[in-house]
Structure 1
Amino acid sequence: MRAATLTEFGSPLTVHDVPDPETGSGEVLVEVLATSVPPYAADVFSGERRYPLEPPVVPGVGGIGRIARVGPDATKLRVGDLVWCDSTVRARDDALTPDITLQGWSSRGPGGAQLARYLHDGSFAELMRVPTENVYRLPARAALDPAQWSSLAVYTIVYGGLLAGGLEAGETILISGATGNLGSSAVAVALAMGAGHVVAPGRNRAVLDLLADRFGPRVSPVELSGHDDTDRAAMSAASDGPIDIVLDLLPPQAPSAITQMAAMTVREYGRVVLMGGVGMLGGADLALPYPWIMRNSLTIRGQWMYPRTANVGMIRLIASGALDLTAEHLTRFDLDQVNDAVTHAATHGGPFDRTVLTPSV
């Protein structure tokens, strides 16, 4: 098969012939039809993000494909099925706190790194070896445009954050980082889940207007001025009532003061979910006042990625039409154009703007 390999950090990906993956029990082989290229992929491949990838590696974070081979433990999957391949792989030998790797992308701790050395390669290839439990069948209509469904790589992440916050129909949520690639997706998913009101703060006026135009009066954009007291008051006023949940999705380069300011708009007994990258590249850590947390009976939770069940829930939201993918802008690249795709993604990371690699098309 052909694959794109990161041979060392700071070097372009190399497209070449490599041996087909060999699958064992508990694994399936998938022909990769489409995989999302994250806007920050260039930062990962340059080494700037300091991800624990170990070159040489075929990168890529999940994807859409057709099953080419199934193992003996598969009872419902069949060769030819169109599937979503979830990159969030959990070790099978600890049900309570399993080690986790993002196949072909990142990992958590020494155990995650060990798992990553076994499931080393991701979806920037014609074929990918995937654990059986990480493969999810898609509805028949997904075959009309598999590339469109590769946005699951983005939407399932933010869905995990909304599940962690226990978002209920009719509630008000503030999404910190709403003008980014993940944040704008969170706005869409929150509304699809029945949020009554979404407060969307950010500094990009054009993106805020786009969100308001696309989603209507259930979204209240707030243009941040950089003045903490003013911005916090503006976010609180935009909610037109108590804010039940704050979901933070700010990127690593964002200052922690913005996360703190957004978090402190939440109501008494409210919930704050932290999913962004604040502090990953240095800078001040997040500081929240102990008395404020205690006296307001707040729940503050970190969430990395999502539970396995989130894949099923996200697929259902899209299949039902509650979340519409047709308005997204997709730019497609074949495998030979992988470095062009990475460059393009870096400059096209705005709301609902997706860069898609199509290895086997």
Structure 2
Amino acid sequence: MRAATLTAFGSPLTVHDVPDPRTGTGEVLVEVLATYVPPYAAEVFSGERRYPLEPPVIPGVGGIGRVVNVGPDATKLKKGDLVWCDSTVRARDDALTPDVTLQGWSSRGEGGAKLARYLHDGPFAELMRVPTENVYPLPAGTAADPARWSALSVHTIPYGGLLAGQLAAGETVLISGATGNLGSSAVAVAIAMGAGHVVVPGRNRAVLDLLADRFGPRVTPIELSGDEDTDRSAMAAATDGPIDMVLDLLPPQAPSSVTRAAAMTVREYGRVVLMGGVGMLGGADLALPYPWLMRNSVTVRGQWMYPRTANVGMIRLIATGALDLTPEHLTRFDLDQVNDAITHAAEHGGPFDRTVLTPLV
């Protein structure tokens, strides 16, 4: 098969012939039809983000594919099925706190790194070996445009955060980082889940207007000034009622003060979910005040990625039309153009702007 390989951090990916993957029990071999290229892929491949990838590696983060063969333990999947391949792989020998790797992308801790050395390669290739439990059947209509469904790589992440915060229909949620790629996805997913109101703070007026135009009166944009106290007051006053939940998806470059200002708008007994990268590049700690947390009975939790069940839920939201992928803008690249795709993704990381690699085209 042909694949794009990261041979060393800071080097362009190399497209060449490599041996086909060999699958065993508990694994599925999939033809990769489409895989999303994240806007920050160039930062990962340059080494700037310091992800624990071990070159040489075929990278990527999940994808849409067609089943080539399945192991003897598969009871429903069959050859020819159109499927979503989730990159979030969990070790099978610890049900309580499993080690986790993002296949072809990242890992957590030494256990995750060990798992990544076995499930080393991702979807920037014509074929990919995937654990059986990470393969999810897609509706028949997906075949009309598999590339569009590769947005599952984006939407399932904030969906996991909204599930972690137990967002209920009719509630008000504030998305911190709403003008970014993941943040704008969180707005769309929250609306699809039935949020009554979504507060979207940011400094990019054009994106704020885009979100308001696309989703209508259920979205309230707040242009941030950069002053923590002023911005907190503006966000808190954005709706007639209280803010039930805050989801933070700010990138590593963002200062912790922006996250703190958003978090402290939540109501008494409210929930705050942290999914972004704040602090990963250093800087001041988040430093939420102890008395405020305690006296207001606020729940704060972190969430990395999402539970397995989120894949099924997200597929249903899209299949039923609750989350409409039609307005999203796709730019497609074949495998030989992988380095062009990475550059394009870095320059087009705005809301609902998807760069997609199609290895078999």
Which bin holds the TM-score, normalised by the shorter protein?
A: over 0.9
* Distance in 2 between residues matched to 1:216 and 1:330, nearest whole Å: 23
Aligned counterpart, 2:174: 174
Aligned counterpart, 2:348: 348
Question: Secondary structure of 1:270's match?
Answer: strand
- Runs ≥4 in structure 1, deviation > 6 angstroms? none
Alpha-carbon offset, residue 54 of structure 1: 0.2
Q: Render the CA deviation track for 1:41-66: whole Å, top value 9, x for unaligned.
A: 00000000000000000000000000
* Distance in 1 between residues matched to 2:48 and 2:341, nearest whole Å: 18
* Distance in 2 between residues matched to 1:309 and 1:284, nearest whole Å: 35
- 1:53 counterpart letter in structure 2: L
Alpha-carbon offset, residue 283 of structure 1: 1.1
Structure 1 position 310 matched with structure 2 position 307: no
Q: Render the CA deviation track for 1:173-223: whole Å, top value 9, x for unaligned.
A: 000000000000000000000000000000000000000000000000000
* Distance in 2 between residues matched to 1:261 and 1:271, nearest whole Å: 14
* Distance in 2 between residues matched to 1:283 and 1:345, nearest whole Å: 27
- 2:10 counterpart letter in structure 1: G
Structure 1 position 153 matched with structure 2 position 153: yes
* Distance in 2 between residues matched to 1:45 and 1:82, nearest whole Å: 29
Give matches, 1:54-65, under 5 Å. Answer: 54-65=54-65
* Distance in 2 between residues matched to 1:65 and 1:229, nearest whole Å: 48
Alpha-carbon offset, residue 151 of structure 1: 0.1
Aligned counterpart, 1:285: 285
Alpha-carbon offset, residue 239 of structure 1: 2.2
Give matches, 1:244-255, under 5 Å. Answer: 244-255=244-255
Give matches, 1:157-306, under 5 Å. Answer: 157-306=157-306
* Distance in 2 between residues matched to 1:240 and 1:19, nearest whole Å: 60
Identical residues among aligned pairs (%) = 86
- 1:151 counterpart letter in structure 2: A
Aligned counterpart, 2:330: 330
Alpha-carbon offset, residue 131 of structure 1: 0.1
**How many equivalent residue pairs?**
361
Q: Render the CA deviation track for 1:1-55: whole Å, top value 9, x for unaligned.
A: 0000000000000000000000000000000000000000000000000000000
Please tell me the root mean square deviation across aligned C-alpha atoms, in Å: 0.4
- 2:225 counterpart letter in structure 1: S
* Distance in 1 between residues matched to 2:243 and 2:152, nearest whole Å: 27
* Distance in 2 between residues matched to 1:60 and 1:231, nearest whole Å: 37
* Distance in 2 between residues matched to 1:58 and 1:94, nearest whole Å: 27
* Distance in 1 between residues matched to 2:284 and 2:120, nearest whole Å: 33
Aligned counterpart, 1:40: 40
Aligned counterpart, 1:113: 113
Q: Render the CA deviation track for 1:281-330: whole Å, top value 9, x for unaligned.
A: 11112110000000000100000000000000000000000000000000
* Distance in 2 between residues matched to 1:228 and 1:282, nearest whole Å: 19
Aligned counterpart, 1:126: 126
Q: Render the CA deviation track for 1:233-270: whole Å, top value 9, x for unaligned.
A: 11111122100000000000000000000000000000
Q: Render the CA deviation track for 1:96-154: whole Å, top value 9, x for unaligned.
A: 00000000000000000000000000000000000000000000011100000000000
- 1:128 counterpart letter in structure 2: M
* Distance in 2 between residues matched to 1:7 and 1:259, nearest whole Å: 36
- 1:23 counterpart letter in structure 2: T
* Distance in 2 between residues matched to 1:118 and 1:286, nearest whole Å: 36
Alpha-carbon offset, residue 228 of structure 1: 1.3
Question: Secondary structure of 2:330's match?
Answer: strand
- 2:136 counterpart letter in structure 1: Y
Question: Secondary structure of 1:238's match?
Answer: coil
- 2:87 counterpart letter in structure 1: S
Aligned counterpart, 2:137: 137
* Distance in 1 between residues matched to 2:200 and 2:34, nearest whole Å: 30
* Distance in 2 between residues matched to 1:311 and 1:289, nearest whole Å: 35
Q: Which runs of 5+ in 2 are unaligned?
A: none
